[in-house]
């Protein structure tokens, strides 16, 4: 797309917080946003989009009708069936970004790892498995523990189980459905992530490497820039660049890495969309990941990714209970200097659900962590 105006429509398949923050970014360019939503309740993006269409993500006719009325279409997540994506590309060439060819290479964890291995990128050792005996064969090379994963659909600790011994194998194998893979357990020192934006002109912008800190497989903190050697940053950027080129990516993408104490680096997963590890960019960077996602898919010049402060920390706000979503005490967050609160507009909360995030800018990481840990310990949501 060469020109945008007040009649330009960006379509988004999906309606959660990623779509919500993308619609907000698009609105600053005067762009209309239409979302396709399967939720019966009012979704996070429905509050902010120009128009909402309700329908099933299995209904190819309804999705094609939705795309017909959009100038460009993008996705909030990677869980839409490949045949639907291919149908969009067949009927509306050069309208869907990332396109179905890109998604075919990374649409599930098996094809993703195969694509990146072919590109010469070091990934977590893995094997497609169909039986417990396949897993046992894998452990003869890599030992226990191993991680069994669903090839498609897993996130935030869902869709994977850790198997610590042969005695657990039969029972835990039954916990997951569909295509499965087993991965070696990497004793990493840090989980690191990088966001990259790329448009159709092959222009690319790298964000700083972030340190993501997990509890129970859910990211709680993001610290930017990560405290790692410049050589590690260079290796991450090089691997991520190879990955973007290998899958001909257009849009904003995230790549997550494991770093061991021996400085071995493994590409663990990718995400073909805005990502939780990049939410800090809304206030923390000159151009947010959401603005650069919009710029990428519309083939506009990309914005710079420089940090606005020496240190940026982000706290994910997770549900602490089941019930109406209400952050308490909200004033604790609003009284923090250069702190920025984002709530996603989800009606109901439940334990562990991502309900919002809080970004803090500053110069002293130790003091900043003290503030965020205090907030984390005291809030209910």
**Same domain, yes or no, for 172 and 220?**
no
**Same domain, yes or no, for 249 and 373?**
yes
Of 84, 134, 127, nearest to 104 by C-alpha is 84
**Same domain, yes or no, for 158 and 250?**
no
Q: Angle at which helices 289-297 and 17-27 pack, to 10 degrees?
A: 70
pLDDT at 297: 97
Domain count for the chain: 3
**Same domain, yes or no, for 209 and 309?**
yes
Per the listing, tokens 């990146």 go with: 116
In a 3-state reduction of DSSP, which class is residue 308? coil
pTM listed for this prediction: 0.94
State both tokens at 81.
């069936």
**Same domain, yes or no, for 160 and 301?**
no
**Same domain, yes or no, for 269 and 193?**
yes
Where in the sequence is the domain holding 50, given as residue range(s)?
A: 9-96
Question: Are the CB atoms for 362 and 331 separated by under 8 Å?
Answer: no
pLDDT at 4: 86
**Is 109 part of a structural domain of the chain?**
no
pLDDT at 160: 84
**Same domain, yes or no, for 14 and 149?**
no
Of 288, 4, 214, 249, nearest to 103 by C-alpha is 249
**Same domain, yes or no, for 59 and 170?**
no
**Is 104 part of a structural domain of the chain?**
no
The runs of H, that is alpha helices, within the chain are: 17-27, 60-68, 82-91, 100-106, 109-118, 132-142, 166-173, 230-246, 281-284, 289-297, 330-334, 365-378
Q: What is the pLDDT along the chain (381 residues), one digit of tens a residue?
A: 568 888 999 999 999 999 999 999 999 999 999 999 998 889 999 999 999 999 999 999 999 999 999 999 999 988 899 999 999 999 999 999 999 999 999 988 999 999 999 999 999 999 999 999 999 999 999 999 999 998 887 665 567 889 998 888 888 888 888 889 999 999 999 999 999 999 999 999 999 999 999 988 789 999 999 999 999 999 999 999 999 999 999 999 999 999 999 999 999 999 999 999 999 999 999 999 999 999 999 999 999 999 999 999 999 999 999 999 999 999 999 999 999 999 999 999 999 999 999 999 999 999 999 999 999 999 999
Could you say which of 138, 165, 184 is where a domain stops?
Answer: 184
Could you say which of 80, 96, 112 is where a domain stops?
Answer: 96
Of 304, 327, 309, 319, nearest to 350 by C-alpha is 319
């Amino acid at each position: 797309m060469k020109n945008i105006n007040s009649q330009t429509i960006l379509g988004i398949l999906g309606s959660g917080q990623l779509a919500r923050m993308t619609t907000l970014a698009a609105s600053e360019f005067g762009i209309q946003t239409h979302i396709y939503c399967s939720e019966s309740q009012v979704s996070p993006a429905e509050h902010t989009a120009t128009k909402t269409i309700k329908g099933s993500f299995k209904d190819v006719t309804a999705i094609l009708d939705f795309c017909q009325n959009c100038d460009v279409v993008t996705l909030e997540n990677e869980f839409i069936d490949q045949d639907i994506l291919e149908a969009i590309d067949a009927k509306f060439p050069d309208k869907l970004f990332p396109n179905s060819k890109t998604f075919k290479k990374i649409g599930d964890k098996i094809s993703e790892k195969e694509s990146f291995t072919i590109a010469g990128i070091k990934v977590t050792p893995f094997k497609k498995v169909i039986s417990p005996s396949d897993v046992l064969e894998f452990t003869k090379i890599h030992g226990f523990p191993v991680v069994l994963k669903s090839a498609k659909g897993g996130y935030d600790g869902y869709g994977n189980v850790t198997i610590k011994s042969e005695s657990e194998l039969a029972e835990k194998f039954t916990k997951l459905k569909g295509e499965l893979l087993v991965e070696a357990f990497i004793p990493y020192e840090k989980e690191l992530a990088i966001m990259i934006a790329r448009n159709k002109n092959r222009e690319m912008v790298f964000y700083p490497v972030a340190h993501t800190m997990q509890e129970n497989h859910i990211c709680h903190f993001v610290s930017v820039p990560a405290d790692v050697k410049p050589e590690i940053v260079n290796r991450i950027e090089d691997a991520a660049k190879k990955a973007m080129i290998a899958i001909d990516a257009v849009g904003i993408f995230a790549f997550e890495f494991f770093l061991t104490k021996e400085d071995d680096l493994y590409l663990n997963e990718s995400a073909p969309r805005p990502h939780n590890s990049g939410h800090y960019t809304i206030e923390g960077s000159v151009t947010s990941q959401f603005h650069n996602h919009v710029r990428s898919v519309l083939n506009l010049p990309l914005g710079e990714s420089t940090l606005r402060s020496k240190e940026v920390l982000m706290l994910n706000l997770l549900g602490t209970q089941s019930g109406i979503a209400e952050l308490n005490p909200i004033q604790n967050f609003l009284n923090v200097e250069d702190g920025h609160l984002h709530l996603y507009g989800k009606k109901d909360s439940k334990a562990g659900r991502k309900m919002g995030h809080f970004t803090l800018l500053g110069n002293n990481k130790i003091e900043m962590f003290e503030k965020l840990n205090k907030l984390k310990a005291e809030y209910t949501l």
